[in-house]
Structure 1
Amino acid sequence: MAYLRSLVLVFALAVRLSQARALTQVTVASGEWPPYTSVKLEKGGLANAIATEAFASQGVSLKIQYTSWSRAIRLVQAGAIDITLPWAMTPKRQQSFSAIPMGLSVERRLFFNKAKPFHWQNRTQLLSAKIGILRNYSYGAEFTPLLKSTNSEYGKDESANLKKLYRQRIDVFPCDVIVCSYFLSLLPFNIAREIGQDTTTFQSEPMFVLIGKEHPQHKEIIEVYRQGLATIRANGRLKELMSSFGVQ
């Protein structure tokens, strides 16, 4: 009888483990950063659309939960949500998270008021400019310390800094081309027409999906996303999604 009970327990444990490994849905915590992520945009924005279709190509659905960015990363670190995206990778985040390449990169250029053009030459020229930056925003290991040590002024979001450029309260605003182009499209024409951008991309930084290193399905989720991204890249769907959001 004892042998039979042990056999039943072993079988039940095997069933539970098998069910735990069966990946059918992944949850993602996402903040507002249009056009990459937004509850107001079709498919949740470009980054969420890419993740949704990458997982779907492998038979896995994606459930999006919108929250603040600070809460999103805490939820994933605690294991309450599976993943969060899109993020730049930093040494601090590497301690707790694994990073899965998203298939997207932030392409930063300098935005300025056309009455006072500002063109990228080197990092030191930024020391003499009043720079608009965003709080709790990573500009990469090379530029974050520099920008925060210059004559900088924080704005609450991209739209606020673009308006500061218009009023000439700041000289320059380093911003992702796609993001600032989106926000410019929402501003009144008389403001948007006065804002220019440099033709030089001074920084290209890849974006990642983050997953906690202690997640029980850590390896499986990473592999499924990688395979899914490769699938939609090969069949042309990734290019179609990017084009639909104005990204070449």
Structure 2
Amino acid sequence: MRDALFDISGQTALVTGSSRGLGYALARGLARHGAKVILHGRTLESVEASAERIREETGAEVAATAFDVTDAAATEAALEKLIESHGTPDIVVNNAGLQKRAPISEFAVEDWNAVIGTNLNSVFHVSRVLSRHMAERRSGKIVNIGSVQSKLARETIAPYSASKGGVVMLTQGMAADLARHNIQVNCISPGYFKTDMNTALWQDETFNQWVEKRTPAQRWGDVDELIGALIFLGSPASNFVSGQNIFVDGGMTAVV
């Protein structure tokens, strides 16, 4: 008999910010492991194109949705419509993210609001709505995407660090509220991965050498190396795990 401990086949998973980059890799990983995946972005055309690529590669059932996760009303309306079409997701991955760089004294207020709105507020907007339906069903997995910057600060990205630190604490608070409803809420905090968001960083040889020296694994991460943690947190294997933050960072946060 097949062991279902890490089995997510047949589960429905929504991944926000998944038309490209890290979110796309996470969605593709879920699809490869048998989940029905709902991709999300701001522009339906680009999300549908990404959904088709995953469909062709994996043969999985893949749907697409588009809405602004920073808009509470638009998010709620879109999620209620999504539930009518696909049912309440079994797995929700709050991945939508934005980075802006400037010294704190020069950081524009509108950029602060954009970073906090996309990285932190969106987790609240999405989880607030979907957790209600998960609680009615008495099951659900919510996986928030944090960052090593939730623990380690760097110059020019203080708002990003603040947003990701907020995601970690929101994860713990959500776990406190939702565990009684058999909803597990956890966080994955990636280290340095070669994604669209940080292309300028990994193409900068000085920064590239710093990452390789600072990381015990002595390299950048590959996005597929996040899938194992996600499958664990989305599967029955994590049914008694909640409020945790798993660093997938090649050992970076373990050393000085």
Of Structure 1 and Structure 2, the greater strand share is in 1
Structure exhibiting the larger radius of gyration computed from Cα positions? 1
Larger RCO (CA within 8 A; separation ≥ 6): 1
TM range (shorter): 0.3 to 0.5
| Alignment TM-score, normalising by the size of structure 1 | 0.33
